[in-house]
Homo-oligomer: A and B are copies of this chain.
Amino acid sequence: MTVTVAAAERLIRIGEVARGAGVSVRAVRYYEQQGLLIAERSPSGQRLYRQDAIPLVRFFQQMFAAGLTSRRITELLPCWDAGHTDAEQRAMLRAERERIQAKIDDLQAALDHLDKVIAITDTHP
Contact = CB atoms under 8 A, between A and B. Distances in A.
Interface of A: 59, 62-63, 65-66, 79-80, 83, 85, 89-90, 93-94, 96-97, 100-101, 103-104, 106-111, 113-115, 117-118, 120-122, 124-125
- The copy count of this chain in the complex is 2
Contacts of A117: 79-80, 93
Given A83-B124, A97-B118, A100-B107, 20 more contacts: A62-B106, A62-B113, A63-B110, A66-B110, A66-B111, A79-B121, A80-B117, A85-B121, A89-B121, A90-B122, A93-B118, A97-B111, A97-B114, A100-B110, A100-B111, A101-B111, A103-B107, A104-B108, A104-B111, A107-B107
